[in-house]
Amino acid sequence: MAYKSNNTNQDSKKEFIFQHKNYMFMFIGLAFIVIGFILMSGGGSDDPNVFNPEIYSFRRIRLAPTLVLIGLGIEIYAILLNPHKKD
């Protein structure tokens, strides 16, 4: 038996799954996640016997986790985005 080569696979142009638009949204989502984690950091006390109520601030309890969740949503959108779709 002779091996038959399929030329249609060799002639087809190789394309990446993600395009520039996908990567742009991925970096935006990553920036939201990083900013959220930076806002969550800190607020602790140097002395473990002293309580610092700053750990329960609006920034650490509401804003930062919201930014992280928005960033994760943007990442999911970036993965599912089809840049070849015509409007």
At 45-56, the pLDDT tens digits run 788 888 888 888
Instruction: Return the pLDDT at 51.
Output: 84
Residues in the chain: 87
d(CA 56, CA 52): 9
Contact 31, 71 (CB under 8 A): yes
- The low-confidence residues of the chain, meaning pLDDT below 50, are none
